[in-house]
Amino acid sequence: IEGPNRNNLTDDYWERRRGGIVGAGFPIVPVGYLLLDYEAYFVDDIDTDRDINPPNLPDDGHIATCGASLMHYRIKPTLDMDINPQGRRVILSYALADESYGSDFNFNEYALDWREYIPLYKRHTLALRAMGGFCKGHNLSQGAFLLGGMENLRGYGYNSFRGDKMGFWSAEYRFPILQDMGKKLSFFYLDRLYGMVFMDSGTAWFQGKLSIGNFDTDAGAGIRLKSFIFYHIPLNMELSLAHGFDDYEDVRPWLGMTVVF
């Protein structure tokens, strides 16, 4: 975890989270779903210098939340929809942490994640994303939201930014490189390869109002591969390189794999 917490602890440290989540989804309209979940986990830091005065230490403890989300999902069914979707996905979520079901903290968390996948021509796509959230109540001093890493600010390390509020946007241009590859490598079947260039910008903070001038920005490029294991289990892979515009940031490589059941 990097960056200052609510109590102004500026030292980086390693944090461990152990727990799980259970949930269920229900269709409510032809293009919408209601998602309900219960999440419980234990947070502890594993290398903070304990000589720091206690008020400035990161918090430890159990967190348990009950959550509800409304998801609008309208993705066009295509052969490459898992690596190059076209359409829209919007998730509005709420989570409540309360001592009555095992939490050491009490807070309300709200978040919105809006993604637009705009078709251009010949399977070229412009992917836009906007995300925001805030948390009210007694939460971890580390903050409710963590940004940085492969899922959002790709030019910065995992959890480089933290706070009780967050804002984020990204723009990504995706284009086909190889369609209908039909290549077999042992038990792998390579199907489609896409390229991408992108820019991300966002931050998380504790005090004050949102200011676009405080956003940290990165840019990069990468490839997306659709493949299959044993010819019928989908395996999607992504390799990207991103550079944060902060003077101290290096180029960061990311490799992600998703098995679809």
**43-52, 57-66, 233-242: lowest mean pLDDT where?**
43-52
pTM of the shown model: 0.87
* Tens digits of residue pLDDT in 72-106: 999 999 888 989 999 999 999 999 999 998 899 99
**Contact (CB, 8 A) for 65 and 41:** no
Asked if residue 176 belongs to a domain, the reply is yes
How many separate domains does the chain show? Answer: 1
Query: What pairs with residue 44 in β-bridges?
Result: 16
Residue 7 backbone class (left: φ over 0; alpha: ψ -120 to 50; beta: rest): alpha
List all residues 6 or more positions away from 109 whose beta carbon is below 8 Å from its beta carbon.
65, 93, 94, 95, 96, 97, 133, 134, 135, 139, 144
Residue 9 lies in a domain: no
Report yes or no: 95 and 38 within 8 Å, Cβ to Cβ.
no
Q: Please list the residues that pair with 73 across neighbouring strands.
A: 89
Query: Which residue segment(s) compose the domain that 96 sits in?
Result: 15-259
CATH code, 201: 2.40.160.50
The answer to the question of residue 4 being in a domain is: no
Q: Is residue 53 part of a domain?
A: yes
Residue whose entry in the numeric block shows the structure tokens 């931050």: 203
159 inside domain: yes
Residue 232 has pLDDT above 60, yes or no: yes
Mean pLDDT, rounded, for 124-136: 96
Residue 78 lies in a domain: yes
- What six digits make up the tokens of 39? 């999440």
Residue 236 lies in a domain: yes
